[in-house]
Amino acid sequence: MLPERNSRLRRALVRLCAVAAMVVISAAAPPARADPAGLVEQEITFSSGELTFHGTVIAPDTGTRHPAMVMVHGSGRVSRDGYRQEAEAFARSGIVTLIYDKRPKQSKSDVDFELLADDALAALRALRTHPGVDPDRTGLWGVSEGGWVAPLAAAGSTDVAFVVTVGAPGVAPERQQSWNLVNRLAAAGVSGSLVDTVSRTTLGLLVGAGQFPEAGYDPAPVLARITQPVLGLWGDLDRVIPGVESLRVFQESLDRGGNRHYTLRSVPGADHTMRRSPDGFQRGDDLSPAYLEQVAAWVNSAEPPAADVGPLPRQERQSAPVEAGSPAVQLAAVVLLLVAFAAYGVRWRRAGKAPVRRPARLLATTGLLSVLGLLGYLGHLASTGAKSLGVVVLGRPLPWLALQLLAVAVVVATVVTARQAWQARADLTTGRRVRLGLLVAGGALFVPWAVHWGLLLP
């Protein structure tokens, strides 16, 4: 009985070890799971620098090797699931796709294209070793900001077989953002000085303060270094990036670098992210079938196509460079204005009765409201991307219209206060003269400052 009992014990131990080994293997490499639509998904991890990334490989359930591509994110905090719809569509067309969670960032200004390109290459290396992938036909797909990142990664690695860009900007980020803001304001019915104030003056100050990441990045030299085949697509209703300018930069840069294997086209009825849209501002839920078909046909092509440029996308206005502002100058101006206007409210002993008290109080009050109101309103627009404007009257949002009226009141109050203070100078104490002089000086400084910020412009 004892040998038989030992034999049963050994068999139980063997089964237990086998189960334990299967658990370990399953934990190390999650099994692929079948998708109801005939696709296979598998969770993977890969490292880039000190970070570990999590992603999902979506592949056709055929058991043969296919071309593949890593999907590189656009701007913002977006997860891999934001690209699942496209990834599954490409997989059904015979292209293995890898979607992954984007590198976390600490703030809006925490963006580094070089780091993002390193992440994309790390994902590419992981995808190239995946079963069912042809490593010699594995490339990068990048949308929007990814249209800067994917070419940068491809220019630095021969492992990248091809590049697909969607809504890729051919201009610097600050120039692209300025163009986008102009379109957004115009669509909301805004005209006049606020357009320049938001799209150029405010943006320029953020650039000068280092709060606009990668502001001066020039994609042209990077594009000129790309030797791999390139497919560039732009929605002809794209309101985010200047499509015509971007397509031309791609063509000129690739030609300058000697790359003759590129296809550059616009997609009718598509917005910035290739969703079908009536006007480019209202984002639809459906991807453009023409876009999906073009990507699938191009990636699955046996031979790299010769240079081919289709009709240009729509572009209603040209983009313009943004001049960097001086945070130090603006901070000094604001401090001087606030001190000048606020100091009048401080009670000085034996100041006496002021003959010019009424216009001076009006100047101090409207001046403070104008300065603080402008800072608050522009801060609000900057934090929301000028998406929350409120009611627009006469081409101006109501808060901006109120600020412009306040600015006019400041100018009028400055003139009246200065004139009455001069007329009553013999009756004023020394302390009152100092306070009024500082107040009027603040009103005088306010005029060029308000012109700079568009408050006194139509």
Please tell me the pTM assigned to this model: 0.85
- 408 shares its domain with 300: no
Min mean pLDDT across 93-97, 226-230, 265-269, 433-437 is at: 433-437
- 265 shares its domain with 339: no
Question: What does the pLDDT read at residue 1?
Answer: 36
Mean pLDDT of 9-18: 39
Q: Which domain holds residue 127?
A: 30-309
Residue closest to 99 by CA, chosen among 111, 87, 113: 87
pLDDT score of 333 more than 80: yes
pLDDT score of 324 more than 60: yes
Alpha-helix residue ranges (DSSP H) falling in 170-227: 173-187, 193-196, 203-208, 219-224
Q: Which residue has the higher pLDDT, 75 or 31?
A: 75
- 287 shares its domain with 354: no
Q: Are 450 and 337 in contact (CB under 8 A)?
A: no
Work out the pLDDT band at 355, boundaries 50, 70, 90: low
The 10 Å Cβ neighbour count of residue 307 is: 14
As given in the structure block, the two tokens for residue 359 are: 């216009």
For 138, the 3-state DSSP assignment is strand
Burial of 11 (0-12, 13-18, 19+ CB in 10 A): exposed
- 283 shares its domain with 338: no
CA distance 330 to 209: 11
Work out the pLDDT band at 111, boundaries 50, 70, 90: confident
Domain assignment present for 16? no
Dihedral (CA of 97, 103, 108, 114) sign: negative
- 69 shares its domain with 200: yes
pLDDT score of 285 more than 50: yes
Question: What does the pLDDT read at residue 246?
Answer: 97
Work out the pLDDT band at 105, boundaries 50, 70, 90: confident
pLDDT score of 154 more than 80: yes
- 198 shares its domain with 343: no
Question: What does the pLDDT read at residue 204?
Answer: 96
Report residue 167 CA to chain centroid gap: 12
Domain assignment present for 224? yes
pLDDT score of 13 more than 90: no
Domain assignment present for 7? no
CA distance 398 to 230: 47
Question: What does the pLDDT read at residue 17?
Answer: 38
CA distance 317 to 21: 64
Work out the pLDDT band at 33, boundaries 50, 70, 90: low
Q: Of 309, 343, 373, at which residue does a domain stop?
A: 309
Which H or E run includes 2?
A: helix 2-28
CA distance 155 to 92: 29
Domain assignment present for 93? yes
Bridge-based pairing state of the strands 96-100 and 66-72? parallel
Domain assignment present for 320? no
Bridge-based pairing state of the strands 396-397 and 392-393? antiparallel
The CATH number of the domain holding residue 157 is 3.40.50.1820
In this structure, what DSSP letter does residue 104 have?
P
pLDDT score of 26 more than 70: no
Q: Of 254, 279, 309, at which residue does a domain stop?
A: 309
In this structure, what DSSP letter does residue 274 have?
S
pLDDT in tens, 125-146: 999 999 999 999 999 999 999 9
Q: How many CA atoms lie within 13 A of 421 on its CB side?
A: 25
pLDDT score of 24 more than 50: no
pLDDT score of 118 more than 50: yes
Mean pLDDT of 101-117: 83
Q: From start to end of 144-206, where are the E strands?
A: 163-166
Q: Are 295 and 248 in contact (CB under 8 A)?
A: no
- 272 shares its domain with 349: no
- 230 shares its domain with 351: no
Assign 3-state DSSP to the chain and report helix, strand, coil percentages, each to 5. Answer: 50, 15, 35
pLDDT in tens, 169-215: 999 999 999 999 999 999 999 999 999 999 999 999 999 999 888 99
As a whole-number percent, the residues of the chain with pLDDT over 90 amount to 74
- 294 shares its domain with 332: no
pLDDT score of 19 more than 50: no
Q: Give, in order, the Cα–Cα distances in Å from 421 to each of 86, 250, 313, 418, 424.
A: 70, 63, 61, 5, 5
Q: Of 281, 309, 337, at which residue does a domain stop?
A: 309
The amino acid that residue 342 corresponds to is A
pLDDT in tens, 415-427: 999 998 888 877 7
CA distance 84 to 171: 28
The tally of domains found in the chain comes to 2
CA distance 354 to 10: 106
Domain assignment present for 314? no
pLDDT score of 240 more than 70: yes
Work out the pLDDT band at 12, boundaries 50, 70, 90: very low
Domain assignment present for 89? yes
Mean pLDDT of 344-368: 73
- 304 shares its domain with 333: no
- 106 shares its domain with 242: yes
Question: What does the pLDDT read at residue 354?
Answer: 53
Burial of 163 (0-12, 13-18, 19+ CB in 10 A): buried
Domain assignment present for 335? yes
pLDDT in tens, 241-270: 999 999 999 999 999 999 999 999 999 999
Q: Which residue has the higher pLDDT, 319 or 353?
A: 319
- 291 shares its domain with 429: no
